[in-house]
Amino acid sequence: MTRYNLEVCLTPAIFDRYADTEAIVVVIDILRASSSICNAFANGAECLIPVPDLEMAREYKKKGYRVAAERDGYVQEFADFGNSPFNFTPERVRGQTIVYSTTNGTMSIEVASGCYRVLIGSFLNISSLERYLLDQDRKIILLCAGWKGKISLEDSVFAGALADRLLKSEKFSSSCDSVTLALDLWKLAEPDILSYIDKAAQRSRLREKGLDDCIPFCHIADSTDVLPYLVKGKLFNLNL
Amino acid sequence: MTRYNLEVCLTPAIFDRYADTEAIVVVIDILRASSSICNAFANGAECLIPVPDLEMAREYKKKGYRVAAERDGYVQEFADFGNSPFNFTPERVRGQTIVYSTTNGTMSIEVASGCYRVLIGSFLNISSLERYLLDQDRKIILLCAGWKGKISLEDSVFAGALADRLLKSEKFSSSCDSVTLALDLWKLAEPDILSYIDKAAQRSRLREKGLDDCIPFCHIADSTDVLPYLVKGKLFNLNL
């Protein structure tokens, strides 16, 4: 039986060492982009357009798009709402195309876009992702969005949670130290994930801005079975 | 009391996010460059010149230097000996300048060379390093050499061991997720470090080539009190 390689890339800044046009890449930005994207599709969004900067978001708004954009915790004056997963309510997103301004998440999606398929992963859709990935005959790379090129604890922990599930199947194997590291973090975090995540730098950043109300929600498994995936710079739900 | 910032950079490929001309950088390449460098000074070497490629090593040899160089486990035909810490015996190195061809270690030294001071760290000199660093009033960055831009388990574990000692002092503090991650790996590894390191990818690479005999030696603390540091591309021992 062929075993497919599983790798974890802890920041998009080193993705060129992993990139492979035959691989499936799962982009992970737990606080908050990948959780928000999953929740948007769970609430019926038709399409999400992730954009890296506010200028692009503003241009889309001028063209009539619905836009989610904030910086430093403030919803931008031109935007319809902010970046918390709670902002992507059914009333706002059902059947809609939403432009979503996010820095780390977008950069990760961009660097992975030359690969065979790009999916968005979070605790919200972890079992759905697991089922999909176990069904594919391809190398898999779990790409953590991190923070400005550095490494984020919460993304690494999620990579460990997903790697743990995939490596229980004989289909996948790994000789990647970042997989080992992520699995060990997940082992430490699993018994009480919210306490563990309390020491993440992003937890403190969000708390200082009063934006940490979404953290428990972002760590609850399987609130949805959506599978956001990338098609020419836009995200759709593969699991309709 | 001023508290100084402690950071861990898990690969030289993202060092530009950490670089600071006021910082002290500790370069970590446990298997094997930083352990070999410490052992060379412990055995009385005067100076080490780390060079990234074999061509440079060959040029130095032509000029009459003593050269340590191997690739894929084979000592290069022009070299005097290989890269294992066991090769840097007192007979070969005492009072000598040694050219040492190493890829990952040299790259890390190069990217850090613009910082205030660059030191070489390993388990061999961990307590000596700890004493020196606790005496400095500066920001500290622990730079893991990793493997071809990727992350290495053994370097991350050592960063955790050293961070653990430094953060016990009130002098240093950290809000860096890579410090948290390294501390947690060290917590898992500390009770039986050789068993833990058994799952490192570099462990397997060395074993396949019959070069893993040095692994226990590279994980014994305090066999020496040397403090290798960088001056214009050359390493000397600060603790004479």
Task: Write out pLDDT tens, residues A158-181.
Answer: 999 999 999 999 999 999 999 999
Backbone angles phi, psi at A99, to 5 degrees: -90, 130
Contacts of B180 in chain A (CB under 8 A): 153, 199-201
The overall average pLDDT reported for chain A is 96
- Which residue of chain A has the CA closest to B184? A185
Contact B180 A188 (CB under 8 A): no
Q: Predicted confidence band at A77 (pLDDT cuts at 50, 70, 90)?
A: very high
- Cβ atoms of A129 and A225 closer than 8 Å: no
Contacts of A202 in chain B (CB under 8 A): 177
Contact A181 B14 (CB under 8 A): no
Q: Is the pLDDT of residue A103 over 90?
A: no
Q: Can you read off the two tokens belonging to residue A72?
A: 């430093």
Which residues is B172 bridged to in the sheet?
Answer: B4
Q: Is B195 on the interface with A (CB under 8 A)?
A: no
Helices (H), chain B: 33-42, 54-62, 90-93, 103-112, 126-134, 153-167, 177-189, 193-197, 201-208, 215-218
The Cα–Cα gap between A109 and A107 comes to 5
CATH of the domain spanning A4-222: 3.90.1560.10
Q: Predicted confidence band at A90 (pLDDT cuts at 50, 70, 90)?
A: very high
Rounded to a whole number of angstroms, the distance from the CA of A11 to the nearest CA of chain B is 9
Q: Is the pLDDT of residue A1 over 80?
A: no
Which amino acid is located at B158 in the chain?
Answer: F
Q: What is the mean pLDDT of residues A86-109?
A: 94
Segment holding A121, helix H or strand E: strand A117-121
Q: Is B5 on the interface with A (CB under 8 A)?
A: no
Contact B14 A17 (CB under 8 A): no
Contact A14 B150 (CB under 8 A): yes
The interface predicted TM-score of the complex, written ipTM, equals 0.95
Task: Write out pLDDT tens, residues B83-139.
Answer: 999 999 999 999 999 999 988 888 999 999 999 999 999 999 999 999 999 999 999
CA B159 to chain centre: 10
Q: How many CA within 13 A on the CB side of residue B42? A: 22
Name the one residue in this structure whose structure tokens are 């446990």.
B30
Q: Can you read off the two tokens belonging to residue B28?
A: 């970590």
> pTM of the full predicted structure?
0.96
Q: Is A208 on the interface with B (CB under 8 A)?
A: no
In percent, the amount of chain A with pLDDT more than 70 equals 100
In percent, the amount of chain A with pLDDT more than 90 equals 92
The overall average pLDDT reported for chain B is 96
pLDDT of residue A11: 98
pLDDT of residue B74: 82
Nearest to B151 among A10, A187, A201 (CB): A10
Task: Write out pLDDT tens, residues B218-235.
Answer: 999 999 999 999 999 999
Cα–Cα nearest to B9, from B117, B139, B141, B126: B141
Task: Write out pLDDT tens, residues B162-172.
Answer: 999 999 999 99
Task: Write out pLDDT tens, residues B177-231.
Answer: 999 999 999 999 999 999 999 999 999 999 999 999 999 999 999 999 999 999 9
pLDDT of residue B65: 97
Q: What is the mean pLDDT of residues B2-27?
A: 97
- Which residue of chain A has the CA closest to B199? A180
Which residues is B81 bridged to in the sheet?
Answer: B68
Q: What is the mean pLDDT of residues A68-94?
A: 92
Nearest to B14 among A150, A181, A185 (CB): A150
Mutate to test the interface with B, among A17, A141, A151 (most CBs of B within 10 A): A151
Q: Is the pLDDT of residue A18 over 80?
A: yes
Q: Which CATH superfamily is domain B4-237 in?
A: ComB-like (3.90.1560.10)
pLDDT of residue A70: 86
Question: A102-127 burial, b if ≥16 CB within 10 A, otherwise e?
Answer: bbbbbbbbbbbeebebbbbbbbbbbe
Contacts of A17 in chain B (CB under 8 A): 13, 148-150
Task: Write out pLDDT tens, residues A198-216.
Answer: 999 999 999 999 999 999 9
pLDDT of residue A39: 98
pLDDT of residue B102: 87
pLDDT of residue B66: 97
- Which residue of chain A has the CA closest to B13? A14
pLDDT of residue A104: 87
Contacts of B185 in chain A (CB under 8 A): 181, 184
